[in-house]
Amino acid sequence: MTHLQELENQSVYILREAYKHFDHLAMLWSMGKDSTVLLWLTRKAFFGHVPFPLIHIDTSYKIPAMIEYRDRLVREWRLNLVIGQNKEALAAGMNHTRGRGVCCTALKTDGLKNLLAEKGYTGVILGIRADEESTRAKERYFSPRDKNNEWDFRDQPPELWDQFKTTFPPGTHIRIHPLLDWTEVNVWEYIKLEHIPFMDLYLDRGDGTRFRSLGCAPCTFPIQSSARSVDDIIVELRQTTVAERSGRAQDEGRGMELLRKDGYM
Amino acid sequence: MLTTLTKPRESLTIVIVGHVDHGKSTLLGRLYADTKSLPDGKLEKVQAICQQQGKEFEYSFLFDAFLEEQEQGVTIDTARTFFTWDARQYIIIDAPGHREFLKNMISGAARAEAALLVIDALEGVKEQSKKHGYLLSLLGVKQVAVIVNKMDLVGYRQDVFAGIEKEYREFLSRLKVEPERVVPVSARHGDNIASRSARTAWYEGPTVLETLGLFKKETAPTEQPLRFPVQDVYKFDARRIIAGRITAGRLKVGDRLVFSPSNKTANVRTVEAFNLEKPLTEAQAGESVGITLDEQIFVERGEIASSQDTIPLVSTAFRANVFWLGRRPLEQGRKYQLRLATREVACEVAAFHRIMDAVDLDQRQGGTVVHRNNVAELTIRAKAPLAFDPSGAFEATGRFVIVDEYDIAGGGIITELVHDEQEFLRDEARRRDFAWAKGEVGTEERAQQYGHRAAMVLFTGPAHTGKAFLARKLEALLVAEGRHAYLLDADNLRVGLDADLEEKDVAGVAEMIRRYGEVVRVLIDTGLIVVSTTNAFGAAHTQAAQAIMTLVHPAPVVAVHMAKSDDEPPPNTDLAFAGPKDFDAAARQVMDELKRRGVLAHSIGEKPKYQYSI
């Protein structure tokens, strides 16, 4: 069995555990490479079906091409898409110039919180990976969030032998992370292997730059790259010593620790 | 970093364990720094934070991500980190060494294929060095290398190293663990991490980096007999797919499968997949698969499929080595949830054989309480029979976790089956089910025609509580609704079927119960709802109820207990009535339970809604 097959089998097992144990289950889909791979794995796990809704937390600052790609896959794969948006904060003019942490918290964390409360989801599947960033390296596959959506990283439940935390007190919910053991290269290798459609924002379209990680337009910056195909990306990533999220402004300083403690993805 | 240009041939998961402050995180940080595996700017970023906070840079800060971890200089939770070396990708899990965080260490170690166990050369073998060593053996981590760190603090002396090596090898040998290597290092100064150090000229073995390369990749046990725990049954489209991950062996189209503990059998019709050009015909250990069967049998999550000649063990009890992590201690009399592969069933501790202090492995006899972070040898009794294996033979189906309230609070490995009183009848039922000749009309067709599944409603309890009266009412109510129900009074078998048996004889009564159970089994195969009481068996009514359930298993049995007072009902009771006055209401409650269990469709003419029989 290849490493990619090992990863796929483990992720499929986790997705099926999530589906079995959570009546109110949903998956976050940002249209980025990771959550699209996750969506593909879901179709694998359930033999072509996606038996729960997908959530897109729309900050309104996403790159327009992402929304086009989203709507195309929703049609082609017959997905049940739920869009969450913190309309109040947007109406009050929230944007990144008010501080990145403030903006991420309002439009993403709170946007998600509000939607979870409104829909009553108790299980939320996310495509985060341990190698992205150091607080995510400490996550569990099934990670509880308390009544305030907060992550108590000081006291995480034990998780062993593919037995996960699937019971939880009322009012709390569980975040499920099937891609935790995947690396950035693994994600691209899998996209190549399975011919998964992805956005060309990840490729150099002639100006010598590409996006390595996608977020909101004002806070995501392209990297210098001449990668014009998935193969080029894989070769580039095997050589690089630059962190994946170097183009993501929210990671500066202790940004992610504080954001994630409060319920950020 | 030329080595990373080619695709790694495999991936290996390693855990770093050992006593607190013995330098696990420093070792990890150093390994990354010296192999140039850190992303650009990471070292500088952490150094800048240290400078800002006015403290000395430590390699351990590279992975102790949380502010609290850095402030206290202690790892709280495991971090998964990745690096590639010599065409192999490593996922390295840095586990905390503080006893407070043992549950985190276990979470990290349980998924590792090999371990580096770090011991401080100055402090020597400490409490957690031993406990972690013991837990690695319980968790099934077989490849262990010992890293003797901080050799700089003992002047790189060979005799100090040799003393620790001897002491710890002796300890490990008692656990039947043989360390692959024992390596002297100084993580802080980089001795013997990525390159050989001149300061330990007396040492001829591998560096830490070379030691990683010597660990072998663990492969899924494809050559063992088949074990396929059912994870779920899907009916998204025309296919009824049985999904799960094969934990041992292999299966292919046409194979005859036996599902334990229900003893249902069927052949594999297809191996299902998504996005494959040509259909699969086989699958093997490690794969998350879906199969369809040639017969519409009712199997559910928790059962284990195997081939007929190598079925797993089935019992309600087994003996096990258990480690406890719960906030509340593991105690006698308390109910827990047992999870073994995909099976979940209520359980309790039937016997405490010995409770051990994992540090000295000395035995403390007696107690009936296992405190947090202790280890014990126990007999565990489950509420219903389950399929399992001894952990020495099958890893994945030989281990389990115990859930207390909302959290996994312990884990264990099964050492042996404990015989229970139902074993004889269970074996009989299995032989009978395997040999059962079926007609053309299947269970499913009968259920669709009748508007209900076959089942048994069994009234239990002492004499003069109205069992027979309620049973008659229920039969009448069911038939009036158009259901196919039949009241089977055991007394009716006495003069005919049981004419050769002596009622005053214990063996005679046991045989009456057995014959009665077999008659019910036949009636259930006809699609009936059999209503009955244990009245005819007098004082042996509790024994009778258990035996009947074993013989009609896996057909649903709704056990209704009737007593004069609110006494504790026997195990496996579904409904309990204490001296009911309104028998009509009681009968309706039983009907509701039958609906809840999916035996009755909600109204006549409606198709029954249970997904498992479709």
Contact residues, chain B, for A159 at CB < 8 Å:
107, 110, 408
Kindly list the residues from chain A whose CB atom is less than 8 angstroms away from the CB atom of residue B612: none
CA-nearest residue of chain A to B96?
A138
CATH code for the domain in which residue A97 is found: 3.40.50.620
Residue B54 has pLDDT above 90, yes or no: no
Question: B186 vs B53, which has greater pLDDT?
Answer: B186
Domain boundaries, given as residue ranges, for chain B: 2-214, 228-310, 314-420, 440-613
CA distance B459 to B154: 75
A4 and B CB contact within 8 Å: no
Q: What pLDDT, on a 0 to 100 scale, did the predictor assign at position B3?
A: 40
B2-214: what fold? Rossmann fold (3.40.50)
Q: Which percentage of chain B shows pLDDT scores above 70?
A: 93
Q: What average pLDDT does chain B have?
A: 87
Q: What is the pLDDT of residue B238?
A: 86
Residue A69 and residue A75 in contact, taking contact as beta carbons nearer than 8 Å: no
Domain that holds residue A148: 3-183+251-261
On whether both A30 and A77 belong to a single domain, the answer is: yes
Contact B65 A138 (CB under 8 A): yes
Of B82-86, B206-210, B474-478, the least confident: B82-86
> A149 and A255 share a domain?
yes
Tens digit of each residue's pLDDT (9 = 90 or more) over B515-553:
999 999 999 999 999 999 887 887 788 888 889 999 998
- Residue B492 CB neighbour total at 10 angstroms: 14
Quote the minimal CA–CA distance from A193 to chain B in Å: 11
What tens digit of pLDDT does each residue of B240-266 get? 999 999 999 999 999 999 999 999 999
pLDDT tens figures, B82-133: 888 888 989 888 877 777 778 888 888 888 999 999 999 999 888 888 888 8
Q: Do A13 and A67 lie in a common domain?
A: yes
A188 inside domain = no
Superfamily of chain region B314-420: Translation factors (2.40.30.10)
CA distance B214 to B208: 10
How far is it, in rounded angstroms, from Cα A77 to Cα A46? 13
Q: Does residue B365 have a pLDDT over 70?
A: no
> Over chain A, what is the mean pLDDT?
87
Q: What average pLDDT does the segment B61-84 reach?
A: 73
Q: Which two tokens stand for residue B258?
A: 């036996």
CA distance B481 to chain A (A): 32
* Same domain membership, residue A204 and residue A179: no
Looking at the domain assignment, is residue A126 inside a domain?
Answer: yes
Do A89 and A205 fall into the same domain? no
Provide the percentage of residues in chain B whose pLDDT is more than 90. 48
Region B435-456: mean pLDDT is: 86
Could you tell me if residue A191 is inside a domain?
no
A175, A202, A165: which is closest to A187 by C-alpha? A202
- Residue-wise pLDDT tens digits, A125-157: 999 998 887 788 888 899 998 887 788 877 888
pLDDT per position as a tens digit, B129-141: 888 888 888 888 8
CB contact under 8 A, B234 and A160: no
| CA–CA gap between residue B109 and residue B97 (Å, rounded) | 12
Interface mutation vs chain B, best among A25, A132, A134, most B CBs within 10 Å? A134
Asked if residue A81 and residue A48 are part of one domain, the reply reads yes
How confident is residue B77, by pLDDT bands cut at 50, 70 and 90? Answer: confident
Phi-psi domain of B106 (left: phi exceeds 0; alpha: psi -120 through 50; beta: other) = alpha
Residue B271 has pLDDT above 90, yes or no: yes
Give yes or no for residue B145 having a pLDDT over 90.
yes
Say if residues B194 and B208 touch (Cβ distance below 8 Å): yes
Q: Give buried/exposed letters for B407-444 (b at 16+ CB in 10 A, else e).
A: bbbbbbbbbebbebebbebbeebbeebeeeeeeeeebb
Q: What is the ipTM for the molecules in this complex?
A: 0.91
Q: Do A77 and A163 sit in the same domain of this protein?
A: yes
Total count of domains within chain A: 2
- Residue numbers in B near A47 (CB within 8 A): 234, 236-237, 239, 241, 272-274, 290
Residues B423, B315: contact at Cβ < 8 Å?
yes
CA gyration radius for chain B? 30
> Do A151 and A232 belong to one domain?
no
Q: Do the Cβ atoms of B288 and A51 come within 8 Å?
A: no
Closest to B1 measured CA to CA, from A115, A240, A40: A240
Is residue A254 predicted with pLDDT exceeding 70?
no
Cis peptide bond prior to A169, omega within 30° of 0: no
**In this structure, which topology does domain B440-613 adopt according to CATH?**
Rossmann fold (3.40.50)
- Would you say residue B80 has pLDDT above 90? no
Answer yes or no: do A34 and A151 share one domain.
yes
Dihedral, CA of residue A63, residue A66, residue A71 and residue A72, to nearest 10: 140
Does A165 sit within 8 Å of B406, measured CB to CB?
A: yes
In a shared domain, residues A161 and A220: no
Which residue is closest to A44 within chain B, CA to CA?
A: B274
- Asked if the domains at B314-420 and B440-613 fall in one CATH topology, the answer is no
Q: How confident is the model at residue B362 (pLDDT cuts 50, 70, 90)?
A: low
Helix (H) or strand (E) holding B132: helix B127-139
CATH code at B228-310 = 2.40.30.10
Six token digits for residue A151? 């992550």
Looking at the structure, tell me whether residues A49 and A175 fall in a common domain.
yes
Residues A134 and A207 in one domain: no
Q: What is the pLDDT of residue B409?
A: 94
For B583, counting Cβ atoms within 10 Å of its Cβ (0-12 exposed, 13-18 middle, 19+ buried), the class is middle
Question: What average pLDDT score do residues B341-360 get?
Answer: 86
Q: A-B interface: how many C-beta pairs under 8 angstroms?
A: 165
Please answer yes or no on whether A165 and B408 come within 8 Å at the CB atom: yes
Report pLDDT for B534: 84
| Helix (H) / strand (E) containing B304 | strand B304-306
